[in-house]
Structure 1
Amino acid sequence: MPGKITIHSTLLFVTLIYGFNYTVAKFVMPAYLEPFGFIVFRIASATLLFWLLSSITGTDKIKSRKDFGLLFLCGLFGVATNQLLFFKGLSLTNPINGSVIMTTSPIMVMIVAYALGKESITVKKSIGFFIGAVGAYLLLTKDGVSLSKGTFLGDLLILINGSSYAVYLVLVKPLMAKYKSITVIKWVFLFGGIIAFPFGISELSTVNWTIIPVTIWLYIGFVIIAATFLVYLLNVWTLKFVNSSLVGSYIYLQPVFATLVAVAFRGDQLDVLTILYSLVIMLGVYLVSQK
């Protein structure tokens, strides 16, 4: 078993990649690729990589139609809906808001798990949900409620994206216990790509690939290889040695890294209210995450 320093260094590296992803993706969208077109390209490329890897490492045979149905639903919520809404939302908001709102994921997971009868809700979790919801509401409405200006619509789409990913996390759990991780993820990405294809193919078909500079190609490669393919494999590797709650706790660092990167490379501004509402959200998520 690798040492604690190796495991935590890996988790820190994954979180740093996520932090960079918010800003890197903003450089690509919408100047060179529209959000839905970018997602189709991202999913298709990652799917190819996962299937190539599975051909090398070996894979399981899916045992029943029910499992294929679950894989399809995982592709719908965990890849297609999740990523389409995330990139569309990110194109309409800033990396700082996006990264903070994504930390509400554990709250969404709790709600979905409770609705499906997978988890009970304690008093502490209820208080955490209320605090987190208040923080999210304050952050969403900080610049007013408007679908045509400000960051409200983008923030809202990222919040819905977090809910979709929460459904995926609950649905995928029995599959991960039954099959190899690479088996699950290759099918999830394949189904997700099929679902997302009609939404992004028109945007992808209008891309002028000849005018994309080398720098932007490097950004696109970062999103596909580092922020999609690599981080998943590293997270799966760490889960062999530590529990999922430890891995999930690193989500608290995402806004820190995303903010530092956004301020340093995009010149984004960090105001006092954003910091205050972010702390409220994180307090709520912390209470929800407690056993």
Structure 2
Amino acid sequence: MNQRTLALIAVFIATLIYGLNYTIAKEVMPIYVKPFGFILIRVVGATIIFWILGLFFKIEKIEKSDYKTLLLASFFGVGVNMLSFFKGLSLTTPISASVMMVTSPIMVLIFSSILIRKAIGKQRIIGVIIGLMGTILLITYGNSSNTGATNSNWGNFLVFINASSYGLYLVISKKLVEKYQPITLVKWLYLLGLIFVIPFGYNELIEVDWQEMPTNIYFNIGFVVFFTTCVTYLFNLYGLSKLKPTTVSVFIYLQPVIATIYALIAGSDSLNPVKISATLLIFLGVYLVTKQVEKSTK
């Protein structure tokens, strides 16, 4: 098996984990662990794992001039990103949340044009408008009768904030990614992110009744900490080292597909015309945005 095939398999496995995560994490919240408490568990666990992994690599010293950028990247990439995602997921449904996450490439384009003055062609502008129309449709009319959604509108909006925050993080961290080894960057991102997460998650974490928690919920928490946070990062990293960024980015389309199939099998969500219409608009918008980028790259 050649390296390209292995890289494609690695990225697919990472995408599969992300797709399953929506329902697996949703089963934990908010009954057994509230969302901010869950994020604190996730960030603490990931920080420990990445710092232990760092012992086996040659770690560069972070330059003083980069700490401000690193702090901003950590705030948006770990703090705002994760807190808004899990809080939103606890209020909405897995399918709506997974569709909303696909807006990340659109937000990357918007923030790139604002922060680094990246030109936007006509096709990409149309893509942004169509994608945001789908987003607004899902936020405004994406209410679900599913019992797992206590406040779909607010939950969908928070997941959109998460996607926007992640898009901003990608733009902010671009120079850091080019300058430092991935393990160096991620261990510091999570350690600094822990500072932002503790004030929000501490009270919810101490409320957790670990003795009353079913065994399968322990498995779900472990899955999120180890697989969703750590394995996906390492697998995507391997994929990016062997494949074009545009090839890896295409896999984001699979997340809602996997999330939808698993959510329907698990009975944790259902489809309706609004979700389907919003999904098609968002997919079309992201396609137009990434298609234009790919052409200009060639």
TM-score for the superposition, normalised by structure 2: 0.93
Give percent identity, aligned residues only.
44
Cα separation, 2, equivalents of 1:171 and 1:59: 21
For residues 40-119 of structure 1, the aligned pairs below 5 Å read 40-63=40-63, 65-119=64-118
Cα separation, 2, equivalents of 1:246 and 1:121: 21
For residues 154-173 of structure 1, the aligned pairs below 5 Å read 154-173=155-174
Alpha-carbon distance change, 62 to 149 in structure 1, aligned in 2, over 3 angstroms: closer
Unaligned runs of 5+ in 2: 144-148, 294-298
Cα separation, 2, equivalents of 1:3 and 1:270: 38
Would the aligned equivalents of 2:139 and 2:156 in 1 still touch at CA under 8 Å?
yes
Letter in 1 for 2:204: E
Unaligned runs of 5+ in 1: none
Deviation of residue 48 (structure 1)? Answer: 0.5
Where 2:56 maps in the other structure, the secondary structure is helix
Cα separation, 2, equivalents of 1:266 and 1:121: 41
Deviation of residue 96 (structure 1)? Answer: 0.2
Alpha-carbon distance change, 80 to 2 in structure 1, aligned in 2, over 3 angstroms: farther
Cα separation, 2, equivalents of 1:150 and 1:30: 13
Cα separation, 2, equivalents of 1:75 and 1:267: 32
Q: Does 1:209 align with 2:210?
A: yes
Cα separation, 1, equivalents of 2:126 and 2:114: 18
Cα separation, 2, equivalents of 1:275 and 1:6: 33
Cα separation, 2, equivalents of 1:118 and 1:37: 38
Would the aligned equivalents of 1:74 and 1:188 in 2 still touch at CA under 8 Å?
yes
Deviation of residue 159 (structure 1)? Answer: 0.3
The aligned residue for residue 228 of structure 2 is 227
Alpha-carbon distance change, 118 to 185 in structure 1, aligned in 2, over 3 angstroms: farther
Letter in 2 for 1:127: I
Q: Does 1:239 align with 2:240?
A: yes
Letter in 1 for 2:231: L
The aligned residue for residue 177 of structure 1 is 178
For residues 113-128 of structure 1, the aligned pairs below 5 Å read 113-128=112-127
Would the aligned equivalents of 1:124 and 1:287 in 2 still touch at CA under 8 Å?
yes
Cα separation, 2, equivalents of 1:150 and 1:239: 37
Would the aligned equivalents of 2:142 and 2:274 in 1 still touch at CA under 8 Å?
no
